[in-house]
Structure 1
Amino acid sequence: MRMRAGIILVGLVLVAGCSTVVTGTPTAGKVQRSGPAGAVPAGLEQFYSQALVWSGCPQFATDDESRQAFAGRGLQCATMRVPLDYAKPDGPAATIGLLRRPADDQQHKVGSLVINPGGPGASGMSAAAGLYSSDSKAEVFKRFDLVGFDPRGVGVSSPKVHCLTDQETDRQRLEPPTTDVAKIEAENKDYAAKCTQRTGADVLATVGTRDVARDMDVMRSVLGDQKLTYLGFSYGTRIGTEYAQQFPQSVRAMVLDGAVDPDADQLDEQIGQAKGFDGAIKDFIKWCVARADCALGHDAGAAQTKLEQLVNPLKTRPVAVGDRQLSFSDAATGIIQAMYSNQLWEPLNTGLTELAQGQGRVLMILADAYLGRGQDGHYSNLQDAFTAINCVDQPQLKDRAEVQKETEQLAEAAKGTFLDEAQPPVPALDVCAFWPVPPTSVPHRPAVTGLAPVLVISTTGDPATPYQSGVDLADALHGGLLTFQGTQHTAFLQGNECVDDAASSYLIDLKMPAEGTRCS
């Protein structure tokens, strides 16, 4: 779950599965029909039984990230058709991009492990390619075909959410912070209008998590799986939770890591993230001041003030980085990016040392990574999709009195934190207040019956999705909870043997870790 930018943003028919391979031309790839499998909703048979054309992945690349990720050996890519609007299955179709890395041990393969890395708006195809290369020895890679997908509107999938041009995004990043409510609202209204014009209201109306979960059930069937085995990180846990509510009988196993609390509203999420990132920054400071080369000195009590002194001048005097400029917004974004993993603390310290010397190369790299800007200057649609999906997953807040009240609550909760100093909350209507279509879901506590036991992984020092959210989600889904003690966002398949072994055993053998299991 990516950090919100404060208050200013934000009848079944049972059929048997089968598998046949149809010979295709070399340029078309291999045509494979593995479905329909499992439960198929009436009226959607044409989608649940479709064949997939698997071919090399480089031709699917759309940006620097995907070009690098899709170059890996042994990867297969395809696109899948789904209704743009499930209420009109005979109407226009959307396509969903898929990437598959076949299981090492095909003879003892369990099935497909479908993954989503979160965002919302992140590419599951790129994540699946990168996840394998990060730990190719993990047992799950031997026993599952790893399948990543770009949710509707994202990355390879089409039609794609598109709001700002590359040049418009670059200009937006250079704007100094403002508390001018009228200016903020005018920009938010303009952004929503551009999204509508460049994407289409019909597409924006269908990019929410409700419809992504429906797409995932089509995917389960065309991959030939009677039931879904799923791994969701961050916002991907919201997709998993939604799928569990819509298709509880079709879940085989589900790992939800870095849980988004489905019952939390936008204010709850903002307060949780303000506190979470503040805790992560404090942990970074403790790590930093113990080093001889710490850019913030060696006094933990004075380090946050030093941090603010380094970045605040950028509000009026950006730092040149080649033919670009590092703005205050970029520096703050780079710092936030580094809080997602302690493996980025070393680069962050280097970036802050550079900033003290009037340079901004490393902080710009960190900010570009967060915002999806490639070396060629082209942005992925991560940020546009993030906004579009959130705007149909949350109620629209247009009552100015309520906005004022929530702003005050957020300001009180964030008082004294780096984020509060960087950009105090402003009582302006956010982008979603000007969105052209209504939400398709609202925060609520899941009520699910007939669901197989699911495993929730929650990290004690997670800055983006607080630990308690995982506790609450495990309780709501009557699932198991695996606790990881650390400061990072998500934990599975990131090198911790305790977490990897416990979650892999669950996914492969359906063996839930013992109650109260903690890893560090």
Structure 2
Amino acid sequence: MSRRIRVRTSPVAAVAAALALTLALSGCVPWFLPQESPSTSTPTGEQVGDALDPFYSQVLRWKDCGDGLQCTTATAPLDWTEPGAGDIDLALVRHPAIGGKRVGSLLVNPGGPGGSGYDFVKDSLDYATDKKLQAGFDIVGFDPRGVGRSTAVACYEPAQMDEYLYGLTAAPRGTDAWIQELETAAADFGSACAENTGALLGHVDTESAARDLDLLRAVLGDKKLNYLGYSYGTFLGATYAELFPDKVGRLALDGALDPSTSNFDVTRVQAQGFESALRAYLADCLSSSKCPFTGTVDQAMNTIGALLASVDASPIAAKDGRKLGSNALLTAIIYPLYQATAWTYLSDMFESVMAGEADYAFQFADQYNGRNKDGTYADNSTEAFMAINCVDYAYNDDPATMRAQAAEIEAAAPTIGRYMTFGDIGCANWPHAFTGERREIRAEGAAPILVVGTTNDPATPYVWAKNLAAQLDSGHLVTYEGEGHTAYNKSNDCVNNVVDDYLLSGKVPASDPRC
């Protein structure tokens, strides 16, 4: 029985690279002047106090890093409450505006948490933004604190990470002995993260990252923030708006999280979302001639449930010696569900597992987890994902509470829910406890903020976009009626035009266009 799956809100950059996935408006007066992309930055020069002035007054020097991109590194305080206690590096990459009428910088975050905005722009620029935005903005990708090329969280060597992600437990799922095995694994992982990361581990929370975002805005020379955030990136953007409402320029938040949602509710609603996406995949699959399933959608869901139970009891060996358990298989199922264009690959994967083969499933699970073919890991996304989530939410590993919550999750998602339960174990005894409060974000006084939601988004279900748009005092909901995780630049012209018009010209829909 494999360890519990860790569902990320957005591996969109990995999906783009690995799977090759392919209105009445009210006007606003622009507050920018078109300009060329400079080779060095000119900070805004705003007054921030003596302790923060060295950070806000730093000059960025861009250097060529190939393919028309430029790279640099900024410095931020390790601890925003004590700026003199040390600093960290933040890695940036930009694609300078190509249209001759530069609006300014557009900072982009792909989600996760733990996703590399640097790699997102470097490797998947045309997936992150369309040509209209590339013409008008310097597209700036950045690795948040704890992530990738920035000062990063570090925990395990590759072999240890394999065991942490793919290792099998000896005790039956849900038993006290099973819980103890997971608690031991979580404690060992947390201890390794604390030892190998140091003080940074206690300062990778989203509020600190949002303060970094304001620093980047200022040193890039932008009076206000232009920002495109996907999935978890919407929470980062909304947190920024709450902290700095007067600095909000144009924030487009696609695939929104509800900031007030608890860790348990995130898991429950995500389980429902992926179950719904799985049913949508099956409805499409069963209408084709090359589907590995037969019968009705309900019958096919039962087949998938039986398949998960089968590998839970008797894991399938892969050629490299790893064994495919239920949670590794669920990771392989979830990965292609992020985009409907990957459903044909999902059919191929199901067919191989039903034939007793594990390698195709591991290929998907490895892509989701950033594992290379040679057993190394391409990035620290899993470590950063855990570290950020552990300090962003409250957790409770009381067995009675977890079992009650597990029953709710299984009721909400009868096929896959049981493999998404007991998630509090991973963070309940993390070296740095959650100290904040999960609450609604209003961002009073902020300029209009665009919130995009997809009606059958499995990772960030549509209800969260509706909730965030309603919470924000200046939120404007844009609905995409379709499948998949996030909508901009991967759905239809209606969504793309609304987002482009907003980011480039400040126009917001008079009402939800229901794209």
Kindly indicate whether residue 104 of structure 2 is the aligned counterpart of residue 102 of structure 1. Answer: no
Q: Please say if residues 302 and 415 of structure 2, whose CA atoms lie closer than 8 Å, have aligned partners that are also in contact.
A: no
Which residue is 2:146 aligned to? Answer: 153
Distance 1:295 1:514 in 2: 45
Partner of 1:485: helix, strand, or coil?
strand
Contact preservation (8 Å) 2:132, 2:500 = yes
Looking at structure 1, the residues matched to 36 and 101 of structure 2 have their Cα atoms a distance apart, in angstroms, of 19
Alpha-carbon deviation of 1:318?
Answer: 1.7
Task: Please give the secondary structure, in 1, of the residue aligned with 2:83.
Answer: coil
The corresponding residue for 2:269 is 272
Unaligned runs of 5+ in 2: 8-32
Seen in structure 2, the aligned counterparts of structure 1 residues 369 and 285 have a Cα distance that, compared at 3 Å, is: same
Q: Which moves more between the two structures, 228-237 or 174-183?
A: 174-183
- Give the AA of the match of 2:72: A
1:426-480 deviation per Cα after TM superposition (whole angstroms, max 9, x unaligned) = 4x85122211223243210113221001000011001111111111111111311
1:164 to 134, 156, 167: 156
Alpha-carbon separation, structure 1, partners of 2:385 and 2:451: 23
The count of residues paired between Structure 1 and Structure 2 equals 478
Q: CA deviation at 1:345?
A: 0.7
The corresponding residue for 2:25 is none
In structure 1, what residue type is equivalent to 2:243?
Q
Give, in angstroms, the shift of residue 135 of structure 1. 7.6
Structure 2 partner of 1:469: 464
Cα deviation, residue 424, structure 1: 6.5
Q: Distance in 2 between matches of 1:283 and 1:219?
A: 41
1:47 maps to: 55
**8 Å CA contact 1:244, 1:251 repeated in 2:** yes
CA deviation vs aligned residue, 1:75-134 (integer Å, no higher than 9, x gap): 1111110010112212211001111011111x3111111010110001011112344233
TM-score (norm 1): 0.86
Partner Cα distance (1:446, 1:211) in 2: 16
Match in the other structure for 1:494:
490
The percent identity for this pair of structures is 35
Verify the 8 A CA contact 2:316 2:358 in the aligned structure 1.
no
Taking structure 1 as reference, are residues 39 and 139 closer, same or farther at Cα in structure 2, changes over 3 Å only? farther
Structure 1's unaligned 5+ residue stretches are 7-16, 23-29, 58-71
Partner Cα separation in structure 2 for residue 20 and residue 279 of structure 1: 47
What code does the residue aligned with 1:53 have?
Answer: R
The question of 1:92 aligning with 2:86 is answered: yes
SS of residue paired to 2:443: coil
The correspondence for 1:329, drawn from 308, 327, 330, is: 327
The answer to whether residue 245 in structure 2 is matched with residue 226 in structure 1 is no
1:485 alignment partner in structure 2: 481
Instruction: Say whether 1:347 aligns with 2:345.
Output: yes
Q: Is the 8 A contact 1:208 1:440 kept in 2?
A: no
Range that drifts further, 400-409 or 80-89: 400-409
Deviations 1:350-409 (Å, cap 9, x if unpaired)? 111122233233322211111111233222211111111011111242555544443343
Deviations 1:138-178 (A, max 9, x none): 311110010011110100001x1122221012223031573
- 1:238 and 2:235 matched: yes
Q: How far did residue 481 of structure 1 move?
A: 0.5
Q: Is the 8 A contact 2:91 2:142 kept in 1?
A: yes
Q: How far did residue 325 of structure 1 move?
A: 4.3
Partner of 2:477, secondary structure, is: strand
Specify the alignment match of 1:366 in structure 2: 364
Matching of residues 192-207 of structure 1 within 5 Å: 192-200=190-198, 202-207=199-204
Q: 1:417 aligns with which of 411, 415, 418?
A: 415
Pairing partner for 1:446 from 438, 441, 445: 441
Does 1:128 find its partner at 2:124? no
Shift of 1:505: 0.1
1:169-208 Cα offsets, whole Å, 9 max, x none, are 22230315732222222222222112112212x2111000
State the distance in 1 between where 2:36 and 2:327 align: 53
CA RMSD of aligned residues (A): 2.5
Answer yes or no: is 1:393 the counterpart of 2:385: no
Task: Report the Cα distance in structure 1 between the residues aligned to 2:118 and 2:311, rounded to whole angstroms.
Answer: 36
1:211 aligns with 2:195: no
Evaluate the alpha carbon distance shift between residue 20 and residue 167 of structure 1 in structure 2; reply closer, same or farther with a 3 A threshold: same
2:104 alignment counterpart: 111
Alpha-carbon offset, residue 338 of structure 1: 1.1
Deviates more, 1:292-301 or 1:202-211: 292-301
The change in CA–CA distance for 1:431 and 1:210 in structure 2 (over 3 A counts) is same
1: CA distance, partners of 2:290 / 2:360: 16
Normalised by the size of structure 2, how large is the TM-score? 0.87
Q: Output the amino acid matched with 2:74.
A: M
Whichever residue aligns with residue 380 of structure 2, its letter is: N
**Superposition deviation, residue 306 in structure 1:** 1.9
Q: Which residue of 2 aligns with 1:142?
A: 135
Aligned-partner Cα distance in 1 for 2:401–2:373: 42
Is the 8 Å Cα contact of residues 37 and 138 (structure 2) preserved in structure 1? no
Q: Structure 1: how far apart are the matches of 2:46 and 2:497?
A: 29
